Amino acid sequence: MNKITNNKAWFLVLPVFFIVAISAIIPLMTVVNYSVQDIFDPQTRFFVGTEWFEQVLGDRRLHDALIRQIVYTMSVLLIEVPLGIAVALTLPRKGWGVSASMVLLALPLLIPWNVVGTIWQIFGRADIGLGGYVINMLGIDYNYSQNPMDAWVTVLVMDVWHWTSLIVLLCYAGLRSIPDAYYQAAKIDGASNWAVFRFIQLPKMQSVLVIGVLLRFMDSFMIYTEPFVLTGGGPGTATTFLSQFLVTIAVGQFDLGPAAAFSLIYFLIILLVCWVFYTVVMNAGKREEQ
Amino acid sequence: MRFQKRHIALILYILFLLLPIYWLFNMSIKTNSEILGAMTLFPDNPTLANYATILTDPAWYSGYINSMIYVAINVVISLAVALPAAYAFSRFNFVGDKHLFFWLLTNRMAPPAVFLLPFFQLYSSVGLFDTHIAVALAHCLFNVPLAVWILEGFMSGIPKEIDETAYIDGYSFPRFFGTIFIPLIRSGIGVTAFFCFMFSWVELLLARTLTSVDAKPIVATMTRTVSASGLDWGVLAAAGVLTIVPGALVIWFVRNYIAKGFAMGRV
Amino acid sequence: MSWMAWTPITAVFFSCIILMLIGMGIWQTVSPTVPRRGFLPLTTTRGDRLFISLLGAAYIHLGWLAFTDAALWVASIIALFWLFIVMRWG
- Over residues A70-88, the pLDDT tens digits come to 999 999 999 999 999 999 8
* Total domains, chain A: 1
Task: Report in angstroms the alpha-carbon separations of B236 from A51, A228, A234.
Answer: 45, 16, 22
Nearest CA in chain B to C2: B125
Mean pLDDT of chain C: 85
Within a domain: A73: yes
> At a CB cut-off of 8 Å and minimum separation 6, what does C71 contact?
none
**Whether A57 contacts A265, CB under 8 Å:** yes
- Indicate the DSSP class of residue A39: E
Within a domain: A14: no
pLDDT reading at A242 higher than 70: yes
Candidate from B95, B121, B125 with C-beta closest to C25: B95
Within a domain: A168: yes
* Total domains, chain B: 2
Check C28 against B99: CB less than 8 A apart.
no
B17 & B139 share domain: no
Complex-level ipTM? 0.87
pLDDT tens digits for range B233-259: 888 888 889 988 888 888 888 777 766
How far is Cα B267 from Cα A168, in angstroms, rounded to an integer? Answer: 13
Within a domain: A230: yes
> At a CB cut-off of 8 Å and minimum separation 6, what does A4 contact?
B91, B92, B93
> At a CB cut-off of 8 Å and minimum separation 6, what does B63 contact?
B216, B217, B218, B219, B220, B221, B222
Kindly report the CA angle at A266 between A262 and A268, in degrees rounded to 5?
Answer: 115
Candidate from A7, A36, A54 with C-beta closest to C9: A36
- For residue B119, the domain's CATH number is 1.10.3720.10
pLDDT reading at B261 higher than 70: no
Candidate from A27, A87, A259 with C-beta closest to B13: A87
Element (H, E) at A236: none
Within a domain: A8: no
Check A120 against B236: CB less than 8 A apart.
no
Distance spanning both ends of chain B, measured CA to CA: 30
Neighbouring C-alpha atoms within 13 Å toward the C-beta of A209: 17
Whats the size of chain C, residue-wise? 90
How far is Cα A283 from Cα C37, in angstroms, rounded to an integer? Answer: 14
How far is Cα A249 from Cα A262, in angstroms, rounded to an integer? Answer: 9
B194 & B85 share domain: yes
How far is Cα B69 from Cα B207, in angstroms, rounded to an integer? Answer: 12
How far is Cα B210 from Cα B219, in angstroms, rounded to an integer? Answer: 13
Neighbouring C-alpha atoms within 13 Å toward the C-beta of A28: 19
The pLDDT of residue B262 is: 60
Distance spanning both ends of chain C, measured CA to CA: 39
Pair type for strands B92-93 and A4-5: parallel
Helix, strand, or coil (residue B6): helix
The pLDDT of residue B267 is: 45
Within a domain: B52: no
- For residue A246, the domain's CATH number is 1.10.3720.10
Candidate from C2, C5, C42 with C-beta closest to A37: C5
B153 & B186 share domain: yes
In chain B, what are the helix, strand and coil shares in percent, each to the nearest 5?
Answer: 80, 0, 20
C30 near B CB under 8 A? no
Check C62 against A265: CB less than 8 A apart.
yes
B3 & B110 share domain: no
pLDDT reading at A289 higher than 80: no
Within a domain: B53: no
The pLDDT of residue A82 is: 93
Nearest CA in chain A to B199: A110
Within a domain: B246: yes
Mean pLDDT computed over B19-29: 89
B80 & B40 share domain: no
Shortest alpha-carbon distance between residue A146 and chain B (Å): 18
Check C47 against B125: CB less than 8 A apart.
no
Within a domain: A7: no
Alpha-carbon torsion (A221, A224, A227, A231), positive or negative: positive
How far is Cα B184 from Cα B187, in angstroms, rounded to an integer? Answer: 8
Neighbours of chain B (3+ CB pairs under 8 A): A, C
**Whether B249 contacts B68, CB under 8 Å:** no
Check A272 against C51: CB less than 8 A apart.
no
**Which of C2, C3, C24 is the mutation pick for testing B, counting most B CBs within 10 A?**
C3
B106 & B190 share domain: yes
B225 & B156 share domain: yes
Check A27 against B115: CB less than 8 A apart.
yes
Within a domain: B181: yes
Mean pLDDT computed over B149-159: 84
Task: Report in angstroms the alpha-carbon separations of A113 from A277, B15, B51.
Answer: 26, 20, 21
B125 near C CB under 8 A? yes
pLDDT tens digits for range A181-234: 888 888 888 888 888 888 888 887 777 787 788 888 888 888 888 888 888 777
pLDDT tens digits for range B190-242: 888 888 998 898 888 888 888 888 888 888 887 766 554 556 788 888 888 99
Helix, strand, or coil (residue A46): strand
pLDDT reading at A45 higher than 80: no
B25 & B91 share domain: no
- Chain A residue set in contact with C, beta carbons under 8 Å: 7, 26, 29-30, 32-34, 36-37, 39, 42, 45, 47, 50, 53-54, 57-58, 265, 268, 271-272, 275, 279, 283
Shortest alpha-carbon distance between residue A189 and chain B (Å): 22
pLDDT-derived band at A286, boundaries 50, 70, 90: low
Candidate from A13, A30, A119 with C-beta closest to B88: A13
Range of the domain at A105: 60-289
Nearest CA in chain A to C56: A272
How far is Cα C13 from Cα C74, in angstroms, rounded to an integer? Answer: 18
How far is Cα B11 from Cα A101, in angstroms, rounded to an integer? Answer: 9
> Strands (DSSP E) along A15-131, which ranges?
37-41, 44-47
B198 & B162 share domain: yes
Range of the domain at B126: 58-263
